[in-house]
């Protein structure tokens, strides 16, 4: 099936959203049992972690940990935002850089100034957007980032979106003081995130059973196992462990001299999608199929190109002395295996 389809449904009782592109599952979001990323707390400082540059905080949902803070006394209230999903038994990861995100706008209370996404190149359009933003933001003193979805957007819809985020930011930032921890804003669920982040034109199906109608369940079933098929009988395996995600590339029955390079390039191109749909993050170690050392640059170039368009923040580390490739990926979504067993 050609084209883009967004299916909004539930899986095992949990809210979920799927993006199908030309019949292939391109992205998948599902609610978990933990705190949603984007949640904003008024948290209470507890004890600092000497040598780690961080601080434990008390929140309504348990202990949180914030990095790179100083000058905070125990008992002091501070606004923080959840940045990702906590691993079992670990504190909730949070940041003091609070953002208010919507489809068109990101309000940045601690970073003044009006900015337009670099993806919008047309100068006349950039000027139009800045004019709308300047009027909508008023005298709050907050910063604003206009996202790439703003290009060509209706002026009234854009202004309403900015004002809604501005007013929300004013309300939440005004609740910073207090002696008790409190949840000031819940993070978006999968349906809200789909509306906010999947902005390219697509058919939207929010009917119950839309996952079955559009082949999402079959695609997810294929993801339940570790293997991912590649052309020519090659494959790669994606297996999460407690410490890291291991990726192993195999050439299958192909014994030609170029078999290793072909399989490795195929893995590099599909790996962002596999990690995204499976909801995997943290440290990722790739054991590529055997290939001449001179081909490493080609494979790394394919990796960089593939992850450049991936919405999940990923840092490509490089090659190890054993010939593996390492990368680090933000844990900003629930793992599929955690909610669908």
- Tens digits of residue pLDDT in 108-126: 999 999 999 999 999 999 9
Computed over its alpha carbons, how large is the radius of gyration of the chain? 22
Q: Report whether 35 contacts 187 (CB < 8 A).
A: yes
d(CA 131, CA 277): 38
- Which CATH code fits 224-339? 3.40.630
- Residue 30, burial from CB neighbour count under 10 angstroms (0-12, 13-18, 19+): buried
pLDDT value for 173: 93
What fold does the segment set 40-97 form as a domain? OB fold (Dihydrolipoamide Acetyltransferase, E2P) (2.40.50)
Under 8 Å between Cβ of 142 and 107:
yes
Element (DSSP H or E) covering residue 66: strand 62-67
53-63 burial, b at 16+ Cβ within 10 Å, e below that, comes to eebbbbbebee
Averaged over 246-251, what is the pLDDT? 97
pLDDT of residue 139: 86
For residue 85, the model assigns a pLDDT of: 87
- For 157-190, what is each residue's pLDDT tens digit? 999 999 999 999 999 999 888 889 999 999 999 9
pLDDT of residue 303: 97
pLDDT at 82: 96
- Residues sharing a CB contact under 8 Å with residue 251, sequence separation 6 or more, in sequence order: 233, 234, 259, 260, 262, 263, 289
- Tell me the C-alpha distance between 88 and 7, whole Å: 29
List the one residue out of 249, 251, 244, 243 whose CA is nearest residue 227.
249
């Amino acid at each position: 099936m050609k084209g883009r389809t967004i299916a909004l449904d539930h899986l095992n009782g949990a809210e979920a959203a799927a993006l199908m592109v030309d019949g292939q599952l391109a992205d998948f979001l599902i609610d978990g049992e933990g705190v949603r990323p984007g949640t904003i707390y008024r948290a209470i400082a507890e004890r600092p972690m000497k040598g780690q540059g961080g601080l434990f905080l008390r929140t309504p949902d348990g202990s949180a940990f914030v990095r790179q803070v100083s000058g905070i006394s125990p008992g002091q209230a501070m606004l923080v935002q959840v940045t990702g999903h906590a691993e079992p038994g670990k504190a909730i990861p949070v940041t003091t850089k609070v953002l208010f995100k919507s489809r068109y706008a990101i309000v940045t209370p601690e970073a003044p100034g009006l900015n337009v996404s670099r993806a919008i190149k047309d100068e006349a359009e950039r000027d139009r957007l800045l004019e709308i933003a300047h009027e909508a933001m008023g005298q709050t003193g907050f910063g604003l980032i206009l996202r790439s979805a703003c290009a060509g957007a209706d002026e009234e819809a854009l202004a309403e979106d900015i004002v809604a985020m501005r007013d929300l930011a004013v309300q939440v930032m005004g609740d910073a003081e207090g002696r008790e921890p409190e949840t000031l804003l819940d993070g978006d669920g999968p349906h809200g995130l789909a509306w906010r982040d999947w902005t390219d034109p697509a058919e939207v199906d929010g009917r119950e059973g839309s996952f079955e109608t559009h082949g999402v369940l079959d695609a997810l079933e294929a993801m339940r196992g570790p293997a991912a098929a590649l052309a020519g009988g090659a494959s790669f395996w994606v297996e999460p462990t407690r410490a890291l995600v291991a990726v192993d590339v195999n050439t299958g029955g192909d014994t030609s001299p170029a078999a290793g390079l072909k399989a490795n390039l195929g893995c590099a191109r599909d790996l962002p999608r596999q990690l995204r749909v499976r909801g995997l993050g943290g440290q990722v170690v790739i054991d590529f199929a055997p290939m001449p050392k001179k081909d490493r640059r080609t494979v790394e170039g394919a990796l960089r190109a593939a992850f450049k368009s991936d919405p999940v923040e990923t840092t490509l580390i490089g090659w190890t002395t054993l010939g593996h490739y390492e990368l680090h990926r933000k844990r900003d979504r629930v793992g599929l295996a955690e909610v669908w067993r």
